[in-house]
Amino acid sequence: MIAEETLVNKLKQKKSQAKAFEVLVNTYKERLYWHIRRIVLDHDDADDVLQNTFIKVYRNIDGFKGDSKLYSWMYRIATNESLTFLKQKSKKLGVSDEELKNSMVENLQSDVYFEGTEIQLKLQKALATLPDKQKLVFSMKYFQEMKYDEISEVLETSVGALKASYHLAVKKIETYLKDG
């Protein structure tokens, strides 16, 4: 895999930009897709948000200063795009954020791209009850198996607070799955 610094330099030069951007998309498309999908749940919505994320990355790469790692910068854009997308969707439909989350989970039952079992559907219902931050931390740690340091850089939250959030999320989900 091409070194991140080299990739960033190539992305910033007009001559090598096209090829470097293709490498970037191929390297991160699946990881970013699953990150977004676990926030917006629906495949078509995830596809829209992912494409917007890459378009923003492409347009703003010159402004990337390298203070953080490239992947955490892209994860941050993907997270913001996903949350903004949901906010706009709830506004458009005239429902509260909570109502939207519940309807998203209900829609999963008829979603052709969701082949979850009863317990997996129940897990989604449990996740819908969590605050956004806890849900994000849980998804990044449990499903994407990211390290706390990496999550910390994406969400700009201390490792200690992330550990507490993850612990709380696991407890709430387990309780929901047992009792809910």
Partner 1 sequence: MKKDKENNFKTPEGYFDSFHDRLMDKIKQEEAAAGESIIPKTDGFTVPEAYFSNLTDDVLSKTISSEKGKVVQLKPYRKFFYGAAAAAAVLFLVFVPNWTTEPQIGFEDLAHTEIDDYFDTAQLDMSSYEIAEAVSLEDIELSDVMDDNLEVENILDYLDENVEDIEELNLDYSDYE
| Residue ranges binding partner 1 (CB under 8 A) | 17-18, 21-22, 25-26, 29-30, 33-34, 37-38, 41, 43, 47, 50-51, 54-55, 58, 80, 84, 87-88, 91, 113-117, 119-121, 123-124, 131, 133-134, 142-143, 158, 160-161, 164-165, 168, 170, 173-174, 177-178
**Within 10 A of 23 (CB to CB), how many other CB atoms are there?**
16
Write 98-104 long-range contacts (CB < 8 A, 24+).
Answer: 101/128, 102/128, 104/40, 104/41, 104/42, 104/128
| Tokens linked to 180 | 């809910």
Please, what is the minimum distance in Å from the beta carbon of residue 10 to partner 1? 13
The label of the residue with tokens 């995830």 reads 46
Which is closer to partner 1, CB of 2 or CB of 18? 18
**Spatial CA neighbour of 47 closest among 138, 136, 113:** 113
Please, what is the minimum distance in Å from the beta carbon of residue 21 to partner 1? 6
Please, what is the minimum distance in Å from the beta carbon of residue 116 to partner 1? 3
